[in-house]
């Protein structure tokens, strides 16, 4: 399997700036994110603190970012990264239905969910999943709940409905996408996932529905669920001034490292993370 120099997880300003700098430094990398690049950016009506571009709207900046990627021939992979496994001197990354390897990782995932649902962490991999397209075949003919925070969640719920017996959809955010017929929409919101050894039911504010599986399709996954062993404090990834996390070769940048949540801070940290990853790779190569 090809081993990339770096895999970047996240397509907001932090991840994109990391990609631009890795590209300039001639490193091989994959950039994972989504087509809108950053929902936060897309929804920012007017930005006054972006140096050199006063008054720019989030959508205009998004367009400039897309042009920049295009100009530098940087491809965006639109699969969600579900897991990053530290393997010693490299990382194994599960995204969509595929697995990739990289010598370094840059986490630029934006803010993580404020808090996990009760039962989520305990039942992760035992009925709780973050990737419906990957795990839907496990639920052929069974009952599944999909909790959706994004447009992609609706598309994933539609895919699950092709295989599962019964699908419940709990929309946390409105979506422009249309659910296919036969999916039962619940008002939600979800309050707890129940089960002893595996998922048995999903509790909402008003009812408890027996289910075999629950897919939680958020925009981003909590860092502690995404990368086993990563040091997190108050929900944010702990980094030093080089954007190095507690895991050698794993760097983080942007909102996922703490406040203030601002565009230029995110981009600056993305650049530092890319340069630190480059130094790490070059030192490693020199030692061999
Ligand atoms: C309405 C609004 C207005 C704002 N206005 C301003 C402003 O005027 N000035 C300012 O400085 N800041 C502003 N901000 C804040 C700014 O948008 C954020 O600080 C900035 O976008 C953070 O960048 P980031 O790269 O860290 O993360 P994000 O922009 O959140 O990008 C992270 C991206 O990575 C993707 N991702 C996450 N996990 C995964 C995964 N596992 N696999 C694949 N992709 C993943 C996410 O879907 C997301 O697209 C505003 C925010 C909002 C919501």
Q: Is the CB of 223 under 6 A from ligand 1?
A: no
Among 14, 20, 38, residue to substitute to test ligand 1 (most atoms within 8 Å of Cβ): 38
Q: Confidence band (pLDDT; 50, 70, 90) for 262?
A: very high
Q: Is the CB of 258 under 6 A from ligand 1?
A: no
The confidence score (pLDDT) of residue 1 equals 92
Give the Cα separation of 101 and 50 in Å (integer).
35
Contact 108, 273 (CB under 8 A): yes
CATH number for 128-217 (one of 3.40.50.200, 3.50.50.60, 3.30.530.20, 3.30.1230.10): it is 3.50.50.60
How many Å lie between the centroid of ligand 1 and the Cα of residue 38? 5
Give the Cα separation of 29 and 17 in Å (integer).
13
Kindly report which listed range (55-59, 133-137, 221-225, 233-237) carries the lowest average pLDDT score: 133-137
The confidence score (pLDDT) of residue 225 equals 87
Q: Is the CB of 19 under 6 A from ligand 1?
A: no
Q: Is the CB of 38 under 6 A from ligand 1?
A: yes
The confidence score (pLDDT) of residue 114 equals 65
The arithmetic mean of pLDDT across residues 24-53, rounded, is: 92
What is the overall mean pLDDT for the chain? 93
Q: Confidence band (pLDDT; 50, 70, 90) for 256?
A: very high
The neighbour count for residue 188, using CB atoms within 10 Å, is: 19
Between 119 and 178, residue with greater pLDDT: 119
Among 82, 98, 109, 173, residue to substitute to test ligand 1 (most atoms within 8 Å of Cβ): 109
Q: Confidence band (pLDDT; 50, 70, 90) for 172?
A: confident
Instruction: Please report, for the chain, the start and end positions of each structural domain, with discontinuous segments joined by +.
Output: 3-112+220-287, 128-217
CATH topology of domain 3-112+220-287: FAD/NAD(P)-binding domain (3.50.50)
Q: Is the CB of 257 under 6 A from ligand 1?
A: no
Structure tokens at 228: 């086993």
Q: Is the CB of 261 under 6 A from ligand 1?
A: yes
The answer to whether the Cα torsion of 38, 40, 42, 48 is positive or negative is negative
Among residues 232, 221, 229, 9, the alpha carbon closest in space to that of 104 is found at: 9
Which residues are CB-neighbours of 234 under 8 A, at least 6 positions away? none
pLDDT in tens, 212-231: 999 998 877 889 889 999 99
Among 9, 10, 77, 97, residue to substitute to test ligand 1 (most atoms within 8 Å of Cβ): 10
The confidence score (pLDDT) of residue 113 equals 67
Q: Ramachandran region of residue 207, left (φ > 0), alpha (ψ -120 to 50) or beta? A: beta
Among residues 153, 197, 176, the alpha carbon closest in space to that of 42 is found at: 176
Q: Is the fold of 3-112+220-287 the same as that of 128-217?
A: yes
Contact 18, 107 (CB under 8 A): no
Q: Is the pLDDT of residue 189 over 70?
A: yes
How many Å lie between the centroid of ligand 1 and the Cα of residue 153? 18
How many Å lie between the centroid of ligand 1 and the Cα of residue 42? 9
The arithmetic mean of pLDDT across residues 274-282, rounded, is: 98
Among residues 69, 66, 20, the alpha carbon closest in space to that of 278 is found at: 20
Contact 18, 64 (CB under 8 A): no
The confidence score (pLDDT) of residue 184 equals 94
Q: Confidence band (pLDDT; 50, 70, 90) for 280?
A: very high
Among 39, 220, 223, 257, residue to substitute to test ligand 1 (most atoms within 8 Å of Cβ): 220
pLDDT in tens, 105-154: 999 999 876 678 999 989 988 999 888 877 888 899 999 999 988 777 88
Between 188 and 95, residue with greater pLDDT: 95
Q: Is the CB of 269 under 6 A from ligand 1?
A: no
Give the Cα separation of 143 and 240 in Å (integer).
45
How many Å lie between the centroid of ligand 1 and the Cα of residue 88? 30
Contact 253, 267 (CB under 8 A): no
- How remote is the C-alpha of 67 from its chain's centroid? 23
Q: Is the pLDDT of residue 30 over 70?
A: yes
The confidence score (pLDDT) of residue 78 equals 92
Q: What is the pTM of this model?
A: 0.85
The confidence score (pLDDT) of residue 53 equals 95
What's the chain's Rg over C-alpha atoms? 19
Give the Cα separation of 18 and 270 in Å (integer).
5
Give the Cα separation of 253 and 11 in Å (integer).
11
Burial class (CB in 10 A: 0-12, 13-18, 19+), 13: buried
Which residues are CB-neighbours of 241 under 8 A, at least 6 positions away? 272
């Amino acid at each position: 399997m090809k081993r990339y120099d770096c895999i970047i997880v996240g397509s907001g300003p932090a991840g994109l700036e990391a990609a631009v700098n890795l590209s300039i430094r001639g490193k091989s990398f994959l950039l994972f994110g989504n087509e809108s690049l950053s929902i936060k950016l897309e929804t920012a009506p007017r930005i006054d603190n972006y140096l050199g571009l006063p008054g720019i709207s989030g959508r205009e900046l998004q367009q400039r970012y897309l042009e920049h990627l295009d100009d530098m021939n940087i491809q965006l992979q639109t699969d969600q990264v579900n897991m990053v496994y530290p393997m010693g001197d490299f990382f194994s990354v599960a995204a969509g239905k595929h697995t990739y390897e990289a010598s370094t990782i840059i986490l630029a995932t934006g803010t993580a969910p404020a808090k996990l649902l009760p039962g989520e962490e305990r039942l992760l991999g035992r009925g709780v999943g973050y990737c419906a397209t990957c795990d839907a075949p496990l639920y052929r003919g069974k009952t599944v709940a999909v909790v959706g925070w994004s447009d992609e969640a609706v598309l994933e719920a539609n895919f699950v409905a092709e295989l599962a017996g019964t699908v419940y959809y709990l929309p946390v955010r409105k979506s422009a996408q249309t659910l296919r017929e036969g999916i039962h929409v619940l008002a939600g919101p979800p309050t707890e996932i129940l089960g002893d050894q595996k998922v048995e039911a999903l509790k909402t504010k008003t009812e408890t529905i027996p289910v075999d599986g629950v897919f939680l399709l958020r925009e981003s996954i909590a860092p502690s669920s995404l990368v086993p062993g990563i040091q997190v404090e108050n929900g944010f990834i702990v980094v030093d001034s080089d954007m190095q996390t507690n895991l050698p070769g794993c760097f983080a940048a942007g909102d996922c490292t703490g406040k203030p949540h601002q565009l230029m801070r995110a981009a600056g940290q993305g650049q530092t993370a890319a340069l630190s990853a480059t130094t790490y790779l070059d030192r490693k190569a020199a030692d061999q």
